[in-house]
A and B are shown apart, each in its own frame.
Chain A
């Protein structure tokens, strides 16, 4: 059955929502149509998440009403929304790590026999759905815990697909995917679109939005600013709508100078089967990017340098002195001076219920203490210094860090490490899920740090970012560095080609161009 395309499916009228004293959404009118991919754009805290949470029944609005397919609805819970055909793929995975892939895919309404779950039917169903999105390689019996992040995301998508959505909401759903998987998701979305499914798409990657969306809506400060059709607005205009002010240049300029003395020298670093003879230098004042497809060992390399992994072979030297940190505590020790900004700020970067001040001071308490006692004056100064250096927007530094927006939370993580005055800064995809304005502040900060003599190793899944920020980019593939790109070589085409480990000569080949388009 093909439903009529273009007809409004979900309509929100006068929706408002506040959390405590903060207005998350204010009198929002919004509609999305059948058979259209509708992008929702906005900085963090613009109200996008609240919008989709309301549509998906996770939170209830304070005012306003919703119509779905012409009928007034209100969803008391996610399951109520699911029952009405509204299915959401959340940014924070909604998978159950200890259950199998098959269990997860059929979690809401498993096939049953005699009232009990029919494991065989469930497995067949999982296999069928995984095949549908090109993920035949995932064994439905495996536990989700044992899958890499990118596969989990695909399972999440299969799960959503299995609920036969009439409105599908994707919240940063491609952020963890490999390029090949992103292609598969696009194919799937195109098919759903043709079937008349309404699709809401939230992404911070502008090129994704441009490639996919038929229509886009921009949100800012809890208000719906504008909705426009594909091609009606340029990227620059869209960005300006999102942040509400002009942005001069996206990336700070790179200094022109000879390559500096290496501050961090890595030689033949190997670990398990995940890192294979990695050798690279990072000079003082240099920003070196790590690129490549997701999961090729970039994060592993950062963890290996930071002392998180055991059994690492090869040598690492800092300012010519060999170091081998056995733990993060060893890595941050004054003689080594390595800092790592982890990928997942909620579980690895912050103690969410603790205060902003406690989170900021935690890594540098050794320096802020006299003997066992914390010097409160020094601590206060250091904390205030960190807040002002990164311009973290805080009400009171004693508030819980969980009250901050995502971008400001990330700034707290970075400020925490800058307070230790590191020589070497490792950044693990620090701009993931961060709004445009904060991203630019972070780019400026990175360059500033480098200018002050820090050596920065910067992993990003965003190729634009690597090109814009880095002096050099090392591309990793299957645990090895396959290419270092520098100067004029540093182009998207080259990055994509090296990421797929095809040599530059054949980079005009179809797969590369498709991926580049992504």
Chain B
């Protein structure tokens, strides 16, 4: 047998990550060509501009990290938009040293409630989290009277979200920390194994003595926590919380996870892919902004890119048995 070096073979999980990374380079080259021709400059290649884009992208990245965990157990969390907004609104409303803990606690509690509904009542997550999203929205609308809250983010929130250390946005450090935690959970802990096992075959995992309900609750709690963290940071970045601040994070976070090669039906996917997926979406957005693409064109391109990427990744297997 001829020995093929293992590192030359791309596993099924790695392929999408490499392709998405290549596509990021295509976006950078295409965007730079455009700016060079139209404005004679290349902002996309300036580290400062890229860092600024990644800073904005870090909020999406943090949401996507939690979303990925939930998708891995073949569930989904549609309550992210108003979990995020509620965390932001309550954090700014409380203010002071308790602002951030309160924001995170809101996310955690919502996540736990989601998890209980899905794991114990066995309501489909698509529906239960949808209902929770409506409830959170209702609570927040009632809380604010439907107007933009007048309270402002605390200094610490602003420090974490908007300021820089050694020229690098602090938000990136937070995103990095979240990423490390998620990677460690998925790769090194028993919890991580259970997550993949449940995503592949929940009944088999249950019969192997995995406490599937507890794992499900933990996954939703983690997802809620990341949504809460993103809310706190986004409020810090924008100085205040506002209605509908989370709406722009739901579908992009799911898209980022999927573009990164995670199976939407659960059980397969690597965190690195989600990271690459987030960067792809962020850069695509910034190139489209530079091109002053109207919303109509953005949406079409956005949809086309998702379909294209998945087609390139290799299509799913045809069911024949």
Contact = CB atoms under 8 A, between A and B. Distances in A.
A contacting B, Cβ–Cβ less than 8 Å: yes
Interface stretch (A4-12, A340-348, A433-441): A340-348
Interface string B18-57: 0000000000000000000000000000000000000000
A373 B205 contact: no
A306 B208 CA distance: 11
A92 B321 CA distance: 9
Contacts of B268: 353
25 contacts: A58-B321, A306-B207, A308-B207, A327-B206, A328-B206, A328-B210, A329-B209, A329-B211, A342-B207, A347-B204, A348-B207, A351-B197, A351-B201, A351-B204, A358-B193, A358-B196, A362-B197, A362-B205, A362-B208, A362-B210, A365-B194, A372-B189, A372-B191, A373-B190, A374-B189
Contacts of B210: 328-329, 362
Contact of B190 (A328, A340, A352, A365): A365
B215 to A, nearest CB: 10
Nearest to A398: B11
A328 B321 contact: no
B204 A328 contact: no
Contacts of B197: 351, 354, 358, 362
A404 B109 CA distance: 43
Given A351-B200, A358-B197, A373-B188, 11 more contacts: A59-B320, A92-B321, A327-B211, A328-B206, A351-B196, A351-B201, A362-B194, A362-B205, A372-B191, A374-B188, A420-B209
Nearest to B320: A58
Contacts of A372: 189-191
B290 interface: no
A382 interface: no
B193 A365 contact: yes
Interface of A: 58-59, 92, 306, 308, 327-329, 331-332, 340, 342, 347-354, 358, 361-363, 365-366, 368-369, 372-374, 416, 420
Contact of B200 (A308, A342, A352): A352
A402 to B, nearest CB: 10
A353 B267 contact: yes
A158 B209 CA distance: 38
A348 B193 CA distance: 17
A246 B190 CA distance: 44
A369 B190 contact: yes
B264 to A, nearest CB: 14
Contacts of A354: 196-197, 200, 267
A366 B210 CA distance: 10
A374 B193 contact: yes
B307 interface: no
Contacts, number: 78
Contacts of A329: 209-211
Contacts of B267: 351, 353-354
Contacts of A416: 208
Nearest to B191: A372
B222 to A, nearest CB: 13
Contacts of B207: 306, 308, 328, 340, 342, 348-349
Contacts of B148: none
Q: Which of B197, B205, B209, B210 has the most CB of A within 10 A?
A: B209
Contact of B209 (A347, A353, A363, A369): A363
B203 interface: yes
Contacts of A361: 193
Nearest to B199: A351
A59 B321 CA distance: 10
B203 A366 contact: no
Contact of A347 (B190, B203, B320): B203
Nearest to B267: A353
Contacts of A349: 204, 207
A399 to B, nearest CB: 11
B20 to A, nearest CB: 21
Contact of B208 (A347, A363, A369, A374): A363
B203 to A, nearest CB: 6
Given A58-B321, A353-B267, A353-B268, A331 B209 contact: yes
Contacts of A373: 188-190
A352 B193 contact: no
A416 to B, nearest CB: 7
A353 B200 contact: yes
B41 to A, nearest CB: 48
Contacts of A92: 321
A374 B189 CA distance: 5
